[in-house]
Amino acid sequence: MSLKRALRAAAVAVAVLLPWMGSPSQAQEWRGWNIHVPDYPNSRGMDRFGELVMQRTNNRIRMRTYHNATLGQQDEAIQQMRLGTIDFANYNLSPFNNLAPSTNVVTLPFIFRDVPHLHRVMDGPVGEALARDLEAIGIIALAWYDAGARSFYTRDRQIRTPEDMRGLKIRVQTSDLWIDMMRALGANPTPLPFGEVYTALQSGVIDGAENNWPSYESQRHFEHARIYSTTEHSNVPEVLAVSRQRWQRLNDQERNILRDAARESAAFQRQLWAERERRSREIVVAAGVTVVDITDRRPFANLMESVYAKHAGTPQLQALVRRIRETE
Ligand code: BDP
């Protein structure tokens, strides 16, 4: 090979390899995935995370969050992070149920006693076990976001007892645990992406769905599902995560900056969350939604034994369930 050709080949190799080597001091653009509207607590938490990282790295890591699921629905976005085409995101933990076993434990119905209990669990050893499982599939968990309690909302039927759920077509996230939970209640589970729920409610393809107050309100599901019954059957939390591919190329100082920024953004999100739950409830009530307040949830909880046995039945998962129950 002539010297000229060898030099040209070397130059091409450098041009191709440089972006992959990604030396940490080099400026980087990070794309963030988010499913929610821009003023949602999680969206504002992610924006705060991005601002803090940019400031503290002197704009070496530039972060932009794409709200409103413009980069795709949740299941696709998880795959994209694993492939390294999405760099950071806020995900609900249910879509990980079939991928990372310990996420089943925090999705289980009626597992948390209240919000302070949930925070203590997530900020302790159970949270660490979840983070290890997520890392194994390419997702680095930096902090946990609140997602409140999920309840059923329906087009026509008020839900007071499990008998009221019989035969109802209820939308769920893509997760075997959720499918079995609905079956145990006598309902007919229909997995659908979040972005399709509004139209499915409108057209009557489904009879109802389940979510927290802020999602029910901000996605305008209340326009077609006019009855909200406070079963509060799950408190599955959310993660603020970055892709392992990006993470592996950061130095220690950068990792610390990201961890601190994530922790601060989670404290901010949790504070906004509590306010937004109240406000969303007020908005839908003012819009004429019927709220069915359920005070005795035991008839629902009593039907969940088979779900616990099937989805948290291994010794490891049983140990995590025990840990959660023993957490003060
Ligand atoms: C919302 C979560 C979001 C989920 C959505 C759903 O914040 O991540 O995608 O529920 O039900 O509460 O799909």
At residue 291, the pLDDT reads 98
Same fold, 23-146+237-278 and 150-235+288-326: yes
Using the 8-state DSSP alphabet, how is residue 289 labeled? P
Residue 22: which region, alpha, beta or left (left: phi > 0; alpha: psi -120 to 50)? left
Find the mean pLDDT for residues 187-197: 98
Average pLDDT across the chain, whole number: 94
Residue with CA at minimum distance from ligand 1 atom 10: 211
Span 209-267, pLDDT tens digits: 999 999 999 999 999 999 999 999 999 999 999 999 999 999 999 999 999 999 999 99
How do the domains of the chain map onto residue ranges?
A: 23-146+237-278, 150-235+288-326
Q: Which atom of ligand 1 is nearest to the CA of 148?
A: 12
Ligand 1 pocket mutation pick from 68, 78, 173, 220 by most atoms within 8 angstroms of CB: 173
For 150-235+288-326, CATH number?
3.40.190.170
CA of 18 to the centre of ligand 1 (A): 37
Find the mean pLDDT for residues 190-200: 98
Find the mean pLDDT for residues 169-192: 98
CA of 229 to the centre of ligand 1 (A): 18
Other Cβ atoms less than 10 A from the Cβ of 6: the count is 10
CA-to-CA distance for 113 and 161, rounded, in angstroms?
A: 20
Q: Which atom of ligand 1 is nearest to the CA of 211?
A: 12
pTM here?
A: 0.92
- Of the candidates 66, 35, 62, the residue with the CA atom closest to the CA atom of residue 51: 62
- Of the candidates 35, 37, 33, 34, the residue with the CA atom closest to the CA atom of residue 218: 37
- Of the candidates 94, 102, 149, 142, the residue with the CA atom closest to the CA atom of residue 267: 142
Span 131-150, pLDDT tens digits: 999 999 999 999 999 999 99
At residue 25, the pLDDT reads 58
Please check whether residue 209 is in contact with residue 228, taking contact to mean a CB–CB distance below 8 angstroms. Answer: no
Please check whether residue 66 is in contact with residue 83, taking contact to mean a CB–CB distance below 8 angstroms. Answer: no
CA of 19 to the centre of ligand 1 (A): 34
At residue 4, the pLDDT reads 66
The dihedrals phi and psi of 92, each to the nearest 5 degrees, come to -75, 155
Residue with CA at minimum distance from ligand 1 atom 5: 194
Residue with CA at minimum distance from ligand 1 atom 7: 92
Strands 28-33 and 208-211: unpaired
CA of 242 to the centre of ligand 1 (A): 18
CA-to-CA distance for 223 and 217, rounded, in angstroms?
A: 9
Q: Which atom of ligand 1 is nearest to the CA of 74?
A: 9
Would you place residue 2 in the very low, low, confident or very high pLDDT band (cuts 50, 70, 90)?
low
CA-to-CA distance for 116 and 14, rounded, in angstroms?
A: 52
Question: Which two three-digit tokens encode residue 14?
Answer: 């450098």
CA-to-CA distance for 268 and 270, rounded, in angstroms?
A: 6
Please check whether residue 222 is in contact with residue 131, taking contact to mean a CB–CB distance below 8 angstroms. Answer: no
Q: Which atom of ligand 1 is nearest to the CA of 73?
A: 9
Ligand 1 surroundings by CB, under 6 angstroms: 35, 74, 92, 147, 173, 194, 211-212, 215, 238
Decide if domain 23-146+237-278 falls under CATH 3.40.190.170: yes
Residue with CA at minimum distance from ligand 1 atom 6: 194
CA of 194 to the centre of ligand 1 (A): 6
Residue with CA at minimum distance from ligand 1 atom 8: 92
- Of the candidates 154, 184, 181, the residue with the CA atom closest to the CA atom of residue 169: 154
At residue 26, the pLDDT reads 77
Amino acid letter, residue 34: N
Question: Which two three-digit tokens encode residue 239?
Answer: 């993660």
Would you place residue 16 in the very low, low, confident or very high pLDDT band (cuts 50, 70, 90)?
very low
Please check whether residue 178 is in contact with residue 107, taking contact to mean a CB–CB distance below 8 angstroms. Answer: yes
CA of 48 to the centre of ligand 1 (A): 20
CA-to-CA distance for 94 and 29, rounded, in angstroms?
A: 28
Amino acid letter, residue 93: L
Ligand 1 pocket mutation pick from 92, 103, 234 by most atoms within 8 angstroms of CB: 92
- Which residue did the predictor score with more confidence, 183 or 16? 183
CA of 219 to the centre of ligand 1 (A): 10
At residue 18, the pLDDT reads 46
Residue 23 has pLDDT above 60, yes or no: no
At residue 153, the pLDDT reads 98
